[in-house]
Every structure is written in structure tokens, then in C-alpha cells.
A and B are shown apart, each in its own frame.
Chain A
Amino acid sequence: MNTPAIEIEDLTVAYGERPALWDIDLKVPSGVMMGLIGPNGAGKSTLIKTVMGLITPAAGTVRIFGKPLSETGSRVAYVPQRSSVDWDFPATVLDVALMGSFGRLGLLGRPKRADRQTARDALARVGISNLANRPVNQLSGGQQQRVFLARALVQKAELYLLDEPFQGVDAATESLILDLLRTIRSEGGTVVVVHHDLQTVADRFDQAALLKVKLLASGPVDEVMTPNLLQKAYGATGAELITSRVSQP
């Protein structure tokens, strides 16, 4: 329980000559809900992709629950941006949700009844049970996001990494996702979210990490969302954003 969910040391990732992440040292304790914030191009998506093993770093290490990803991969669920997938694909909502269980299956294994039930339960948890047989090319943005979440839930992971899950979804979906993440946290899971909207960070997360290629700060939200640090990351406008916030009780 005291092992940090994610431990990153000296992480550097470069695209060609351009550094995307530089010398990152970050500890994400388990059981928290952390928001990863920073301006465009800060490397937020890159960071969680690297943690997931999708990108090979130029230097540094990543440990998940104290072990390398190869050993603990099954305990991590990744929810990518909706746009990372071509939704014009021949599959139903249930099909996609079921894909979360494939990591547990052997090569010739097919999903069993128990797996199907797990998938249906996950769909219920995200409120799209009625869409189980709908082709995924007929989904709205919010529904797509929920499908991805259901897929992650099916994996029964302990650590959830989400890339901008609140981006471009309707209010109902937003609140559903938030509730779901909080439930996960209260059940002992760890949630790390790449978040784009500074206004809502303090409401939703207990911890935050401010990224601008380098890690500018990490820790409890209030310690990170200070005018000084925000100005370093976002420039003058960032500072304005937080001062407007601070004026509210």
C-alpha cells in the first residue's frame, strides 16, 4: 500500500532532436487522484504514454508498484484520447468493452461467460447498457468516452491512466466519469488524468503535477496551483486564471 503507484526517475523522452520530457522525477502515491496539467506541448500525453510503455524513453526509468511495466502491466489500464482511434470500425460497444479482458486470455482463448458478464457490468457502471449491441461508428463523443472507460474497468486494474477524458463530452458524461473515478479511488485504486481545463483542477483532484517538458511541481493541488508556478508554466494568462479562482471562496 505504501509503494507508490508510479515512480519515475530521470525520465527523458525526445522526438528526434526535440525534447518532449526532460529529466522527470515524479512519485505518484497510490490511492490518489492526480491531475497532470501544463500548456500545449508540455509532454503530458507523452508522459503517460511512456509510463504505459508505448514510447521508449531516451533515458530514465519508470516503475509501477515498484516493478517494471513488463511485470505489472496487467495492473494498469490506459484510456487514450478518443481521437486516437478510428471509430469507423466494425465492432459493437460490447465488443470493445470485452477487449479489456483479452490481456488475461491466452492466445487461443475466447471470452467466457464470466468475462461477458464483467463487460456488461462495466457498461452498466458507465451507463450505456442499452448500447451494448450498437456499432461503434454510431456513437457520440460522450458515448465513445464511456466505452473506453468500460473497457478499462473490465481490465480490473489498480492504476488508471486517462488522457483528457473530459475533452469535448457533454455534462452528463462529465459528471458520470468524475463519479466513476472517485469510486475507483475510494476502492483503493489510483487515478492519473491528463487534464486540460485549469478551472476545474482544484475541484476534481487531490494531487497535481505541473509539466512543461520539465516537471515544475507535484504534490497536493493547492501547493501546485500557485500563481508563481502557473506563471512559469503558462505565462501571464495562467496567473490570471488562478487569481480569478482564488478570489472565490
Chain B
Amino acid sequence: MNPLIWWEINPALATVVLGTALLGLATGALGSMAVLRRNSLMGDALSHAAYPGLLAGFLLNGTKSVAMMVIGASLFAALAQWLTGFLIRSTRVRPDAALALVMGCFFGFGMVLQSHLQQNPSAAQAGLKDYLFGQAGLLLEEDIALLATLAVLVLLALFVGWSRWKIITFDRAHAVSLGINVSFWDTLYNFLFILSVVIGLQVAGVVLMSALLIMPGCAARYWTTRMSAMVTLAGASGAILGVAGTFASNELSWPPGPTIVLLGFSWLILSFLVRDFRKKRTSYSGFSQDTSSSLNISGVGAK
């Protein structure tokens, strides 16, 4: 059956399914790397920080220009990220506290802007409040192009830079010592991450964005022992969750965004139960006792 027929039969559904699948692919893959880097909260922080940027972009431009809002959101997110890094590097504030601080401050500012914008009629026209909780159901065909571009960019960057990202994520210092330009790859990653967050805001909203980023990666971790497989699985499962979540939301008459998140969470719990629950935890790292029975010391070397 020609898949394009689907668009004729059920166009609302088709658009949203495709849109959430593409977003899920990008955010799942990128988010899984954030999980590995122990930076899972970054998605949450950035989505909260992007919110005032959206509003500011609207304020400056007056009309509902999406480009302006995306730029504003990205700039604020980038600023928040820089500020967090600055706090961690140059003050005594711990990483988690720094994230919470910056996130709260930026979002608080966003609330102030929102209250100010309430008196502005065209603000309602821009559907600004949809960015808080997402309105996946209103994905238009023109949005698909944007999401597809994002997905392609992410896939491309991951493919091309894979060897670099693998080493950087596992052992940053080693990457530097090998001569890899870590700051370039970091910047590229942050750029794509921020872009995904900002573009994904209208689907998932500020509140749910971090779930979309983190869940596929966390679940994928249970199923594989290789990073390439994990990231691939995270991206694929992100896409599938988007599709399944949208179908489910259609059946249940629930909003798509939250349905996807709930489904993703179920997937995570399922992964844990199937893969981890009955296994005894193997201990690792830091203990001087060695299980030397598993060691083969015959091939030590000449002398």
C-alpha cells in the first residue's frame, strides 16, 4: 500500500506521527549521549531557559514570527548553558546547584515576561502558552520540513563524528591527549542539542522536553553493552515512541505529548524489569581485591 495514501485518509494523524517520530529520533539519540556524560539535567535546564527566549523573541518582533522566537529561544538557552559552566568553573557552586539556579532564574524571568505579555492581545495569537505544555496535535506540514532537517543534521553529525564522540564521552582527558579537538565537538553537540530542545518545545513543551531527551537513552542502556548500539537504539526507540504514542493518544483521545512521555516511561520500567531486576548487581571499580581467578597472567611478557 502506498504510504502516501495515509495522508489522504488520516492526514492529521499522519503529520503528527511523522513529526513526533522525527523529533523522537533526534532527541533520543542526542539525549542518550547526555545521559552517558552524566549531563541528563541539561535538557530540562535548557528547555526552561529557552522559554523566556521565546517570549523575548516575540516581544522584540511584535508579530508571530517563528524564526525570531527560535533564535531568541536558542540564544537564551546558549546563554544559560554558558552561565552554568561559568558558575561551575569560577565559583564554589556545585554543578547540580548551578543548573538549578540558572534554570530557576531564567524561567522566573520567563514568567515575568509572560505576565507582562498577557496584556498583549497578539501574544495569544502566537500561541505562546502552548510552549509550556506542548501542542503536538497542531504540527503542520511546514513543521515537518524543519523536523526532518533537524533529524538529518543530527544523524549526519553523529555518523561523521562517531569515533570522536565515543572517546570524548568515555574519557575526555584521553580524547584531549590524543589531539582531538574536544571543544569543537562539544560546541557542535551543544548546538544540536539546543536546536533540538528549541524545535521540540512546541511538541513537548518546556515541562516534558527533558523526558523526551532522557528516556530513550536510559532505556537503551539496559539492552546493550556498546555505545553505538545504545545511541542507535535510543534514536530508534525515540522515533517508535513518537509513533506509538501518537497512535495511542489518538485512540484514547489524550494529548499526544504526554502520551508519548507516559509510554516512554513504561518502556523504561519494562526495560529495567526485563533486563536488570533479576540479575545480581556485579560490583565494579575501586576495590583492591581482585577476582584473580578470572585473570590470565600467562601472557605477561618477556621479562
Contact = CB atoms under 8 A, between A and B. Distances in A.
**A and B found bound together:** yes
Interface of A: 49, 52-54, 70, 73-74, 76-78, 80, 82-92, 95-96, 99, 102-103, 105, 107-110, 124-125, 127-131, 135, 137-144, 151, 155, 168-170, 172-173, 176, 179-180, 182-183, 186
B174 A91 contact: no
A169 B288 contact: yes
Contacts of B178: 73-74, 102-103, 155
Interface stretch (B45-53, B93-101, B129-137, B289-297): B289-297
Interface in B161-176: 161, 163-164, 166-167, 169-171, 173-174, 176
Contact of A73 (B171, B177, B297): B177
Contacts of B169: 89
Contacts of A124: 299
A53 B166 contact: no
A52 B284 CA distance: 28
Nearest to A16: B90
Interface stretch (B55-63, B224-232, B257-265): B224-232
Given A89-B170, A102-B163, A107-B163, A73 B295 contact: no
A107 B160 contact: yes
Given A95-B227, A99-B167, 6 more contacts: A80-B173, A80-B174, A85-B170, A96-B170, A125-B300, A127-B297
B288 A170 contact: yes
Interface string B10-45: 000000000000000000000000001010000000
Interface in B131-150: none
A54 B160 contact: no
B284 A139 contact: yes
A103 B179 contact: yes
Interface of B: 36, 38, 160-161, 163-164, 166-167, 169-171, 173-174, 176-180, 221, 224-227, 229-230, 282, 284-292, 294-303
B303 A78 contact: no
A127 B295 contact: yes
Nearest to A146: B295
Contact of B173 (A78, A88, A90, A139): A78
Given A92-B225, A108-B160, A140-B290, A172 B177 contact: no
Contacts of B230: 90
Contacts of B290: 140-143, 169-170, 172-173
B296 A141 contact: no
Contact of A102 (B167, B176, B303): B167
A54 B172 CA distance: 10
B173 A92 contact: no
Contacts of A107: 160-161, 163-164
A28 to B, nearest CB: 17
A101 B303 CA distance: 26
A51 to B, nearest CB: 10
Contacts of A49: 173
A137 B284 contact: yes
Nearest to A140: B290
Nearest to A137: B284
Contacts of B292: 142, 170, 172
